[in-house]
Structure 1
C-alpha cells in the first residue's frame, strides 16, 4: 500500500518531542476514507492485525487541516 505523509514525520533538531528523530506520523492512503498512523505501541488488547498507537494531538490537527476538515 502506498502511503503519503500528511502530518508529522522526521523531526527537526531541537524540535524532537520523541527524542529519536522520527516522530509519529499520519499518512493518506489510496482509499480516501482511510488514514494510516505511525506511533508508539501501547499495551491494550486488540484483535489480531490491529494496533493502538499514541500520537501527539498537534499531529492529528495537522492531518485534519491537510485533509481540509477544518
Structure 2
C-alpha cells in the first residue's frame, strides 16, 4: 500500500496522518490500551495529541 503524509512532523516517531492509494486514512501514534476499548482481531488503537507540542 502506498501512503502520502498529510499531517505530522518529519521525524519517523511522532504522530502523523496519511492517505492511502486505496482512499483510506492511516494514523501513526503511540499504541494504547484503555479501559472500555474493545478491538477486533488484527486491530490496534493509537493515541494522537489534539495539539502539537
By the TM > 0.5 criterion, same fold?
yes
Structure 2 residue 49 is matched with structure 1 residue 49: no
> Counterpart of 2:15 in 1: which secondary structure?
strand
Q: What TM-score results when the alignment is normalised by the length of structure 2?
A: 0.72
Greater fraction of residues in strand: 2
Separation of aligned partners in 1, 2:31 and 2:15: 11
What's the RMSD between the two structures over aligned residues? 2.0
TM-score normalised by the chain length of structure 1:
0.57
Higher relative contact order (CA 8 A, sep 6+): 1
* 1:30 counterpart residue number: 21
Unaligned runs of 5+ in 2: none
Structure 1 gaps of 5+ residues are 12-20, 60-70
